[in-house]
Structure 1
Amino acid sequence: MAEVSGRVGEVRVDEGASGVSGANGASGREPVTVAVDGPAGSGKSSVSKAAARELGFGYLDTGASYRALAWSLLERQVHAEDASVVIAALDDFDFRIGTDPEHYFVRVGETEVTDAIREPRVTAVVSLVARVPEVRVWLNERFRAIVAASEFPGVVVEGRDITTVVAPDAPVRILLTASEEARMARRSKELTGESAEKVGAALRSRDQADSRVVDFMNAADGVTTVDSTHLDFDQTVARVVEVVHDRIDLTETGRSH
């Protein structure tokens, strides 16, 4: 199991009980990057994790890192509205995130925050953190290091601006999207206690906040769009896996068609 620390200048990989030795260390190849972008409610996280399992790849949820930082700021009662304070907080922000889709976790220091970063209070401020350019640059560097250190033959990396900024040269780049109505319906199922109106308002607010930083609704050149509006979960996963197989030769991982 890969465990990579986000501390400045530190990338650490610990091997788990599975005994998987660095597949890429043995082959000399860097892991293949499958970059998945898309708006809130499009299913990026769940679809990417399932596709990673099917492909035998690692999985990196980049949004969790922004959430971990937001959680850390809230715990320290730091105001996320002040960009300079957020930037200063990076100096001692120590986070770890698992890349094994079967053993996913997020930690800040020694604290397990996998579930805590999904709390509404974190969701309410994460866009404030994510819109700070210096934060994005700092985390993007760590995302690239995490992928490079992975013991998996490839890593499915999902989140905002992955296809254009974090991994613009990835052999597989996918924009996973769906209509606003479909995204609202899916998010409503996840948040059973929320009204459709409240979910819709939150989704539109998130889209508006994110659009100030990145264009996540339009595919850049070379990016394959997967529209899941009329697909169920399994069909969407199958389509993503199909795109990966179409773009790279998994018998010789890393070789593009």
Structure 2
Amino acid sequence: MSTVVAVDGPSGSGKSSVSREVARRLGLAYLDTGAMYRAATWWCLDQGVPLTDGAAVAAAVRELPLVVGVDPAAPTVVVDGRDVGAAIRTTEVSSQVSAVATNLDARAELGRRQRAIIDAERTGGWSGGRGVVAEGRDITTVVAPDADVRVLLTADEAARLARRARELHGTDDAAAIAATHDQVVRRDADDSTVVDFRVAADGVVTVDSSHLDLPQTVDAVLGVVARTVAPPA
């Protein structure tokens, strides 16, 4: 039996950590679509493509030599033979990724690739046909609206800022929160101009993690899966 779990949510909602652990627990592949947008941004910067030139960005994304590893224990992002897993998490990329994420032609191309990965995991791929947990901002509505389980993972702004500050700066003190604010709030505002990931669409289950830790949030999402489909044998 193949199971596709789609998880959307804003920055700092915990969707990457939660989705990876849910995938690991269920023996499914894990697809971080946000990493694909980051990889595309890194590629444009590496190739000297002006992010203000929408047509040039779209062309670069169509030629992007990207390979995404979907093992939840060790997901990888390789561009043109180079492991860019660390490079795509830098402030330089984080501060500019919305230029790619809001480019509709680039979104269409990356969405096509994401659907291809999801389809491959339905019948084979890394998971051997068991399925995939795919997370991002438009998975439940655009990329995989037919997923077996669709979840909007959200949290209030204070919780999201604190989580991202701890992730980036190792602390959630006032200075770290201030340094993180633009990256979280502005990116969500930018990306929301092309996709709605703040309100659950019909058939999408909302999980609010504002007052939950990681294990509790994982359990909550696993509970949604268990109520929706029989877990893979």
Q: TM-score, normalised by structure 1?
A: 0.83
Is 1:223 paired with 2:194? no
How many residues align? The count is: 223
Q: Which amino acid is 1:181 matched to?
A: A
Match of 1:125 in 2: 96
- The residue number in structure 2 matching 1:24 is none
Matched, 1:181 2:152: no
How far apart, CA to CA, are the structure 2 residues paired with 1:112 and 1:251?
A: 31
Q: Residue in 1 aligned with 2:194? A: 213
Q: TM-score of the superposition, structure 2-length normalised?
A: 0.92
2:14 partner amino acid: G
Whether 2:54 is the aligned partner of 1:83: answer yes
Q: Is the 8 A contact 2:68 2:78 kept in 1?
A: yes
State whether structure 2 residue 7 is matched by structure 1 residue 53.
no
Moved over 2 A (4+): none
Distance in 1 of aligned mates of 2:6 and 2:197: 13
Q: 1:72 corresponds to which residue?
A: 43
Q: What code does the residue aligned with 2:82 have?
A: T
Could you tell me which of 199, 210, 220 is aligned with 2:180?
199
Q: Distance in 1 between matches of 2:232 and 2:149?
A: 16
- Give the deviation of 1:103 after TM superposition: 2.5
- Answer with 1 or 2: which has the greater Rg: 1
Q: Who is 1:115 aligned against?
A: 86
SS at match of 2:118: helix
What percentage of residue pairs aligned between the two structures are identical? Answer: 50
Match of 1:105 among 76, 92, 96: 76
| Residue 167 of structure 1, CA deviation | 0.7
Does the Cα contact within 8 Å between 2:62 and 2:109 map onto a contact in 1? no
Q: Secondary structure at the match of 2:13?
A: coil
Q: How many angstroms does 1:251 deviate by?
A: 4.8
Per-residue deviation at 1:46? Answer: 0.7
**Structure 1 unmatched runs, 5+:** 1-28, 253-257
Cα RMSD after superposing both structures: 1.4
- Select 1:241's aligned residue among 203, 213, 222: 222
Specify the code of the residue in structure 2 equivalent to 1:218: V
Secondary structure at 1:191's aligned position in 2? helix
String of CA shifts for 1:191-235, please: whole Å, max 9, x gaps: 226622221233211111111111111000000000001111100
Give me the whole-angstrom Cα distance separating, in 2, the residues matched to 1:67 and 1:224: 27
Contact preservation (8 Å) 2:62, 2:106: no
CA deviation profile, 1:93-132 (whole Å, cap 9, x unmatched): 1100011112211000111101111011111111000111
Match of 1:164 among 125, 129, 141: 141
